[in-house]
Structure 1
Amino acid sequence: MSAPLEGIRVLEVAMYGFVPSAGAVLREWGADVIKVEHAVTGDPQRGLRQTGLLRVEGDPNPNIEHANRGKRSIGLDIGLPEGREILLELAKRSDVFLTSFLPGHRKRFGIDVDDIRAVNPQIIYARGSALGPRGAEAGKGGYDMTAFWCRAGTAATITPPGTPGMVGPPGPAYGDTISGTNLAGGIAAALLKRERTGEPSVVDVSLLGSGLWSLGHTVALTNHLGQRMEAFPPGVHGSPINPLVGLYPTADDRYISFVMMQPTKFWADVCRHMDLEEYIDDPRFATAEAIAENTELATEILKEAMSKRTLAEWTERFQTLAGPWAPVQDTLQAAQDPQIRANEYIVQAGELELVANPVQFDVKAPETGPAPGFAEQTDEILLELGLDWDRIIELKTAGAVT
């Protein structure tokens, strides 16, 4: 069975994590993605070895693999006339032009919308930016830490009051990957529009807009009430009016999260699973109002019971628990989660296991592959354009291609 975007070619002129992650999603949806890298330096992301406290030595390097799986790479200096000529030849044969370049650089290199549409009027032009295509700061760059995490509101919202500084993102390319998936979805919609109407679109997604959308419920709520959302201090159970919404420590210092929004519906079942049958008919927990008034007491009862068994023991017991619950897991634990494995949310890509994009078609994991080596498919791509070896050698001698 063919992939949804099979036969679609994407020409990616982008660096780092955000926009390339959109190309990675499109590749897993079946598109042929040609990654244009600078003829000498390549994508700067290739040099990223230190991420927080973690360092990668040698190859494969997850810092480049995550956002570049399955693509083909060509080394091209689009600052040279010969290099730009090759780029435009590729654009003629592409369905999507995908870029992270800032407006000034797009103009400088002659790769803005009008330039690319001059050689391919039907091409979809997709841009990923830090702060959006309009406004006084449209020409400014940024990263997911600045635009997605800090400026859009997440950092301040999850940082408990009184905490110096802010709580940082959980890992590298967090906002980049979310924003890239948004951009891939926009491109897919534009391809459908072109198929139906013949009209190509300019697609824009920004880190700032994606960060705001990710926090959209909170933005609507706080803006309506005129009050900011305050994060709970570390160690706080959870809901002040519902003992079945919160965290409970197990005997082996792990945590289980209960999120049962209708406490009267699930109270008896929780009590049965936790050997607390004596509280099933307790009038203090008989109604939503009573539970709200006695949440502190109920929380202490559940906390003491939860502390008597390990996470593994509770996991076995809670297989039949009706209400939603989950173990609190780090990424190493999540990677071994049987449910994650059963759904093939982690796939093999060359030597590495990578998280697949979250969209599946026909109940199948996407087919993927390793990221290309720098400029690995340069000759292959040039030959596809019809260039002979004499011309390819000339371009290499001129420094236009790698």
Structure 2
Amino acid sequence: MVAPLDGVRVVEVANWMAAPGAAALLADLGADVVKVEPLRGDAMRGATRQPAVPEGEPPLDAAFALDNRGKRSIAVALNQAEGTDLVRRLAAGADVFLCNLLPARQARYGLDPATLLGANPRLVHATLTGYGTHGPDVARPGYDLTAFFGRGAVLDAMSEPVNAAPPRLRPAQGDHTAALALFGAVLAALRLVEATGEGQVVDVSLLGAAAWTMSSDLSATLVDGVRPTPEGRIARPHALHGGFRCADSRWILLFMPEPHWWPAFCTAVGRPEWIEDERFADRAARSANMPELTRLLDELFASRPLKEWCALFDQHGFIWGPASTVSEFADDEQAAADGLFPEISEPSGRRYRTVRAPFRVQGADIAPRGPAPAVGEHTTAVLTALGVQAEDLSRLATDGVIGGHPGPRAGEGAVG
């Protein structure tokens, strides 16, 4: 099989999850990704839960390893002129420059589109920001929680309607949504460079990713200005849409909004009288009587454990899903059969499972290329290939312009 991006060179100047996640997908497709880190390392290193490992094994920085697998790392101080000069020289020989620096910092370091495309007219310059590169908040830092979930109204749409605390959020949901957008935009830009011979400037934001995520609600609100009312369980529009607690306190999720499901459901669960009950006879009646219907459905589902409901619903071809725990998803038979969790091997011999790219292309070699690097693990090799002489490497290291010392890989517990 062919790696789709074999031969494509990417320079990444980014931290945390969104932009590095996009670069990790480019690496999965075969791109050579050089990650430029500060001397202390990406702030993401060691910032999330470290999974339990067998006694005697080094820690595993799993979340960092996920978004930085298959890359090479160099450690460079961007606040020193010689450091930014090294990065510009790398970008001059690259196909893609990918960063999450705000536009003002790009200009300060000479890493803005005009400067880099001036030296490399076929470069794809891709920026991931919180709020975009135009408008009053162009200089405002933005993160998954603040720009995507908060400003982008995702939290509002997910919250219960009356004085409820916002739902608890998990890391990187907005970041990885934006990462997919950035990944796709870079691929489109590479195609344009191939077609036109001209460099391209890519701009993706967390706020823009939130807008696309919320577009089903926004598409109506953009027309009439009305805020969608958050739907509680007793205000949902369809009876067989939502979650129900089973006898073992597990939740089952249903999505059967079309009217023809209602009589089939009532018959299957032993409540045929609900079909003719005038309170539930059609969609409008069920909607008008949703509080009472929800009470009856809650009583019904509380009569059997999840496993029994699953078996019954499969027998009748109903559309359902369990509210799985994360550990259950990690051991899900379907996920394993579809290859969602491939293994990565470290030079030490340790193997661990990770999450593959959420797509396949028939005949293409798309897979994690290896573990994430340690901070500056490849500084010497990358800069030597750039033409930096050994004596200059030594001086730059002494002056605090570059870093990189032998040490554990990111997957083996390296921290910034």
Same fold (TM over 0.5): yes
Find the partner of 2:312 among 286, 309, 317: 317
Code of the residue aligned with 2:358 in structure 1: it is P
Code of the residue aligned with 1:401 in structure 2: it is I
Q: What is the deviation of 1:170?
A: 2.0
Who is 2:102 aligned against? 102
Who is 1:161 aligned against? 161
State how 1:31-70 maps to structure 2 within 5 Å.
31-38=31-38, 40-49=39-48, 59-70=59-70
User: Structure 2: which 5+ residue stretches go unaligned?
Assistant: 346-350, 404-416
Code of the residue aligned with 1:324 in structure 2: it is I
Q: What is the deviation of 1:287?
A: 4.5
Code of the residue aligned with 1:220 in structure 2: it is S
Who is 1:193 aligned against? 192
Count of aligned residue pairs for this structure pair: 394
Of 183-192 and 279-288, more deviation after overlay is shown by 279-288
State how 1:337-376 maps to structure 2 within 5 Å.
337-350=332-345, 351-362=351-362, 366-368=366-368, 369-376=370-377
Code of the residue aligned with 1:24 in structure 2: it is A
Q: Distance in 2 between matches of 1:138 and 1:289?
A: 47
Distance 1:146 1:299, change over 3 A: closer
Code of the residue aligned with 1:156 in structure 2: it is D
Who is 1:82 aligned against? 82
Q: What is the deviation of 1:4?
A: 1.9
Distance 1:257 1:353, change over 3 A: same
SS at 1:223 equivalent: helix
SS at 1:44 equivalent: coil
Distance 1:358 1:267, change over 3 A: same
State how 1:2-401 maps to structure 2 within 5 Å.
2-38=2-38, 40-49=39-48, 59-163=59-163, 166-168=165-167, 170-233=169-232, 236-237=233-234, 239-240=236-237, 242-263=238-259, 265-276=260-271, 287-289=282-284, 291-292=286-287, 299-350=294-345, 351-362=351-362, 366-368=366-368, 369-401=370-402
Q: Distance in 1 between matches of 2:153 and 2:282?
A: 37
Distance 1:62 1:108, change over 3 A: same
Q: Distance in 2 between matches of 1:393 and 1:183?
A: 36
SS at 2:115 equivalent: helix
Code of the residue aligned with 1:304 in structure 2: it is E
Q: Deviations over 1:53-111 (max 9, x none)?
A: x9999631133223212211011123333323322221122100001111221122111
Distance 1:289 1:216, change over 3 A: closer
User: Sequence identity of aligned pairs in percent?
Assistant: 34
Q: Deviations over 1:337-365 (max 9, x none)?
A: 22222222223234443222312222889
Of 74-83 and 8-17, more deviation after overlay is shown by 74-83
The 8 Å contact of residues 343 and 353 in structure 2, kept in 1 or not, is answered as: yes
Code of the residue aligned with 2:98 in structure 1: it is L
Please give the TM-score of this superposition, normalised by the length of structure 1: 0.88
RCO higher in structure (CA 8 A, sep ≥6): 2
Q: Deviations over 1:23-60 (max 9, x none)?
A: 1121122211110011x211111141469xx9999631
Q: Deviations over 1:310-333 (max 9, x none)?
A: 212222232233332111123222
Please give the TM-score of this superposition, normalised by the length of structure 2: 0.85
- Root-mean-square deviation (CA), in Å? 2.8
Q: Deviations over 1:188-239 (max 9, x none)?
A: 1111111122222100001111112211111122333332122234xx2563
Q: Distance in 1 between matches of 2:162 and 2:296?
A: 30
